[in-house]
Amino acid sequence: MEGILPLFKPKGMTSHDCVFRLRKILRMKKIGHTGTLDPDVTGVLPICLGRATKVAEYITDAGKSYEGEVTIGFSTTTEDASGEVVERKDVAVAISRSQVMKVLQSLTGEITQTPPMYSAVKVNGKRLYEYARQGIEVERPSRKVTIYSIELLDDREMLEGENITFRFRVACSKGTYIRTLAVMIGCELGYPAHMSDLVRIQSASLTLDDCLTFEEIEDRAEKGTMAEVLRPMEAALSHLPKFQISDKVAEKVKNGAVLTIPDHLLDTKGPIAVEEKEGLVLAIYEHHPRKPGLMKPVKVLRNDQ
């Protein structure tokens, strides 16, 4: 069995928990997830089965979309609803829709984020959440991420109350912490804040509509119909630039040959999907580091056909 299984991750499970459970349901070991989702977060978690584990990193690197909820008025240790309250400041004056829209616009594009202490980012070989659980504060490396768009999902003209909650939809690059984005929104409005709910609605080309629950997967596993819902490896690579080759060149690609970069891809950066005429991706290539105009394989995906 191989392919990409779009899982609807339920609340209360880590990504690793999901892999562990699927290994038992599907009775196979070669299963990998495509980037961690916090236990409180639900939604799209693409799972790679069999040979498709080779392309997991390309789903991880692709853009993501989320629907989240910000609560203005208090912040937490974890920057989400599961943490302990750190700071409170009641919203004394109503916040207008235009104020919120202005803040969201200011946070669109390339921004700098500092990962939360309760995160899986490594510092000196140790994950930040391990330091946090020991009560140790360490310097966290800031990173640049891209917010492609933020849409306010609230039609109120004035937001008022001691604590204000509103929903938003965001499309972003890999490495973006939506928890931290919620805190940044609050900060720009002049109040402590946290992310009170989050659903991932898209990962690479996979959406909520594509996802199966654990119950649906168990049912299909019993009936032997899992293959019907698995997506091909190409679903993980749809966002990459493509280079289509002839059958003659395909044999060379399967053996790891260096290729000339086609003119239309000379200005690209990052991985290139080399595919047959039928659309099957044979390998992932990248620009050769020492030989201009050539590209070399970083992963041969299909060399047994």
Q: Tokens 């290729």 sit at which residue?
A: 259
Among candidate residues 38, 61, 197, 210, the one labeled active-site is: 38
Is 263 a catalytic site residue? Answer: no
Helix axis angle for 15-26 and 214-223, nearest 10°, is 20
Q: Which residues are catalytic?
A: 38
